[in-house]
Each structure stands twice: as C-alpha cells, then as structure tokens.
Amino acid sequence: MRVDLTRPQLTPGSLSLFFSHSQLVNEQADGNMSNLTASALRDPAMRRSQATEVAYPLKLGEVHYVRGQLNPANFQGSRDSRSATFTLTNAITYPRAFHQRSWKPTLNKVAQRLRDECQKSHAYLLAGATRQKRGKEVWAPPRGKGRTAVPQTLWIAFCCANGVSGATVGYPQSTGKLALAGMDLGPYDTRELSVHELEGVLAQTTGRHSIRLFDGGCTQLSGNEN
C-alpha cells in the first residue's frame, strides 16, 4: 500500500474543502461529487441528507469541535483518491483537543505501520464510528436539520496481504468513561488492539452477536497478493 506521509496533514474544520454526494439528494444524479455552493447549502433536500449545517470550528459549552475524516486523505496514494475523501459522508465531528492530542498521532502511527510492516504488499483499510445511545448524543449544532452527532467511538483497522494487521479505537468525548470489552476509555483516550478485539468492541457497542471486519479474519486476504 502506498501511504503519502509527505503530504501536509489535513487541518479539520473548513467546509469549503468538502464536497457533497449528489445522489443522496437526487437518485437520478450522476456519481460525481458536487461543490457546496451557497444555494446547495440552502437546499432542504441537501440538508436532510448530509451534515451541511455546521460552521467550524464550533464551540459547544467549553469544547471546541472540528470536522475531520473517517478515511484519512493522507492514507491515499494518489491525488484522485485523496480528493475523493473530502466528502460530507466521510466527515466526522469531534473535539479539537481529541484530534490534536490523540487521533492525529494515532493516524500517523498507523500510517507508519502500513509503510514499514505492510511493505509492498496490498493493504486493506477500514474506518468507522459508533453512535452514542439515543438521548445521550452531542449534536452539532444542537438543533435543526443538516446537523451531525459526535460519535461515541472512532476506530480504524488494517489488514495487509503479508498477514500483518492491527486496529485502534478512540473515545472522542470530553467527559465520562466508556467500558469496552474489559478496558476503560477516558476522555480523548485511544487504545491499540487486535482486529479480533476490535470486532468484539464493535459487537458490544452496536448490540450485535458478532462482527467480522475482514473476510476470514484477515487470513484469507493474506493469500491475495496477485
């Protein structure tokens, strides 16, 4: 996998960097990304389908929030691939302090592992978020359509065709504690774990019996070098 570590890190927050998915507004539209023009931001259908209503950086109480990415642009190996990550459907809202103290260093470490340990083999990357329980969400902005919720957890997992794999989960909340599969996460904590352990965490947080992120638990992918 080619990981671009020389490209400057994304500074979360600027809405002008992001594009929308036209097909979420109109099923007959093509699959190309669309610019977030002033008229598009006023479109009720756009506001219902994607988080357009937030101006960043955003302060709620004493916490400053920014817009980041689930699938990081810096993990992509080409300009087109990096551009494709700047969509509202790939955007995530979390505290600025979480990004600076925890998540940005975590992503840098994962990127370094991909380059050093996956070497020239294919790499498969998954990233996602889990939501807070209903009624406990932190919404940005607090009311209205076109808003977004701060996730309960962020996670990222990778599997290389040479058999190397790993995962990390983060708790992007400014207060409280989260007990997950035998571990406790405090405000802005991140924790490295195996892909199998992350699957257990995701099963617990989503209320499912089991979750499989990679087919064959990464072992089948390890044979797909060709």
Model confidence over 6-30: pLDDT tens digits? 333 444 444 456 666 665 566 666 6
Cβ neighbours of residue 153 closer than 8 Å, sequence gap 6 or more:
129, 130, 169, 170, 171, 172, 178, 180, 185, 201, 205
Predicted structure pTM score: 0.76
Contact 173, 150 (CB under 8 A): yes
Phi first, then psi: what are they for 39, rounded to 5°? -70, -35
Instruction: Compute the residue count for the chain.
Output: 226
Q: Residue 203 half-sphere exposure, CB side, CA atoms within 13 Å? A: 13
Distance CA 67, CA 103 (A): 13
pLDDT (tens place) for every residue of the chain, 226 residues total:
444 433 334 444 444 566 666 655 666 666 666 666 666 666 777 666 666 656 677 888 889 988 888 888 878 777 777 777 777 778 888 999 999 999 999 999 998 998 898 887 888 889 999 988 888 888 777 766 556 788 999 999 999 988 899 999 999 998 889 888 788 999 999 999 999 999 999 998 888 888 999 877 676 554 544 4
Q: pLDDT tens digits for 39-54?
A: 666 677 766 666 665 6
Q: Which helix (H) or strand (E) holds 135?
A: none
Q: What distances in angstroms separate CA 144 from CA 20, 55, 110, 134, 197, one per listed residue?
A: 19, 13, 36, 17, 37
Domain 15-223 CATH (choose: 2.60.40, 3.40.50, 1.10.3470, 3.40.570): 3.40.570
CA of residue 85 relative to chain centroid, distance: 10
Domain ranges of the chain: 15-223
